[in-house]
Amino acid sequence: MQNIPSVDLRDFLSGNPERKQKFVNEIGKAYEDIGFVALKGHFLDDSLVEGLYAEVRNFFNLPLDVKEQYEIPGIGGQRGYVSFGKEHAKGRKEGDLKEFWHFGQYLPEGSKYEAEYPENVDVKELPKFNAVGKEAYQMLEKTGVYVLRALALYLGLDEFYFDNYVAEGNSILRPIHYPPITSEPDNAVRAAAHGDINLITLLMGAQGKGLQVQNHNGEWIDAIAEPDELVINVGDMLSRHTNNRLKSTIHQVVNPPRELWGTSRYSIPFFMHPVSEMKLNALDNCIDENHPKLYDDITAGEFLYERLVELGLIKK
């Protein structure tokens, strides 16, 4: 039994005003209530998903000394490999039980962001790895654009309000490997309770138990998607921008039952970020006498830097 609402992007894309509005209402209400949905009708086809997972498994199966060649110092883990236990949740010191890779934005030649974003890292041992990563990145980004268009309408904004902010945005595709657990973890879980930094997160690989979201009563509920669904949640940037009208829900990836400790888990989130100069100031139409302004003004770039320090990926 799925505990998060399921929506279908094909309603929004149908050309039928009633179906389009139905999608807007459903996703908007879900993000006000719990901050998570399962989405059908996205732009990833089965063969692309299968190809990406195959390449991701191939990469994480490489010897550690090979993987570590792709760990780039001085960039806060924003491209390439991040080794096991390096990242921890805000407020925790125990490293999460995971290793991961980062694909970043693919900029057109002459983009003003060329100096700001690190270059993507090519894995020479796996000729298909980077190509399939790029295709998945672009299909997830395309899906995210339409989700944000629906949310703009729900918020009473122009439908294309977010388009210029996410075009060439600092988005990240993160294939994650949670390796088999070989000994009793010392107060560590695969991913400790946290909120995401970005506007929205599109997650592949939530088909089995592990991902849990916290509802408004503080209860942890399983977020399990169907095989053809992405799980999409609100991040802290969008929550700030909407004065917490759209909820950035705390979530975690718990360790499996002991009998499954010997198994790996893979998941692939796409963290949709805007360009760094986007102001995350609370929208005027999300502030009134019953909903006073909750957050100080800040840009997306400033907020991202603060959070990377808190996660241990950037040392001050």
C-alpha 144: how far from chain center:
10
Structure confidence at residue 186 as a pLDDT band (50, 70, 90): low
In contact, 76 and 170? CB cutoff 8 Å: no
Asked if residue 202 lies in contact with residue 140, where contact means CB atoms within 8 angstroms, the answer is yes
Lowest mean pLDDT among 19-33, 195-209, 250-264, 274-288: 250-264
- Give the pLDDT band of residue 211 (cuts 50, 70, 90): confident
pLDDT of residue 15: 95
Contact 238, 45 (CB under 8 A): no
In this predicted structure, what is the pLDDT of residue 93?
55
pLDDT at 170: 94
User: What pLDDT was estimated at residue 193?
Assistant: 78
Q: Which two tokens stand for residue 213?
A: 């979201």
Residue 34 CB partners (closer than 8 Å, separation 6+): 4, 5, 213, 215, 216, 247, 249
- Whether residue 206 contacts residue 224, with contact meaning beta carbons closer than 8 Å, is answered with yes
Backbone region of residue 130 per phi and psi (left: phi > 0; alpha: psi in -120 to 50; beta: other values): alpha
Q: How many CA atoms lie within 13 A of 18 on its CB side?
A: 0
The answer to whether residues 34 and 229 touch, using CB atoms and an 8 Å cutoff, is no
Half-sphere exposure of 88 (CA within 13 A, CB side): 11
∠ CA 99-80-87, rounded to 5°? 40
- Which fold would CATH assign to domain 6-310? Jelly Rolls (2.60.120)
**Res 87: pLDDT:** 55
Radius of gyration (Cα) for the chain, nearest Å? 19
pLDDT class for 213, splitting at 50, 70, 90?
A: confident
Give the residue with greater pLDDT, 74 vs 278. 278
Phi and psi angles of residue 199, each rounded to the nearest 5 degrees, phi first: -75, -60
What does the alpha-carbon distance between residue 26 and residue 306 come to, in Å, rounded to a whole number? 33
In sequence order, what are the residues at sequence separation of 6 or more whose Cβ sits closer than 8 angstroms to the Cβ of residue 174?
100, 101, 102, 103, 268, 269, 270, 271
Q: Is residue 192 pLDDT above 70, yes or no?
A: no
Confidence of residue 191 (pLDDT cuts 50, 70, 90): low
Percent above pLDDT 70 for the chain: 89
Given pLDDT bands bounded at 50, 70 and 90, which one contains residue 2?
Answer: very low
| pLDDT of amino acid 207 | 58
- pLDDT of 183 reads 65
Q: Which residue has the higher pLDDT, 10 or 315?
A: 10
Question: Distances in Å between the alpha carbon of 21 and those of 26, 27, 92?
Answer: 8, 10, 41
Distance CA 101, CA 132 (A): 14
Give the model's confidence band at 1: pLDDT under 50 very low, under 70 low, under 90 confident, else very high.
very low
> Which helix (H) or strand (E) segment is 51 a member of?
helix 46-60
**Measuring CA to CA, which residue among 308, 13, 24, 309 is closest to residue 172?**
308
Helices vs. strands in the chain: H and E counts, helices first: 8, 13
- Summarised one tens digit per residue, pLDDT across range 44-96 is 999 999 999 999 999 999 999 999 999 998 888 899 999 886 655 455 555 56
**Partner residues linked to 201 by β-bridges:** 233, 271
Token readout for 52 is 């990406």
Q: Is the per-residue pLDDT at 276 higher than 80?
A: yes
According to the model, what pLDDT value does residue 7 have?
96
* Mean pLDDT of all residues belonging to the chain: 88
**Does 4 score more than 90 pLDDT?**
no
Q: What is the pLDDT of residues 101-114, one digit of tens each?
A: 999 999 999 999 99
**Cα distance between residue 99 and residue 267, in whole Å:** 11
Domain range annotation of the chain: 6-310
Query: Which amino acid, one-letter code, is at 142?
Result: K
Distance CA 248, CA 197 (A): 9
Q: What is the pLDDT of residues 30-39, one digit of tens each?
A: 999 888 899 9
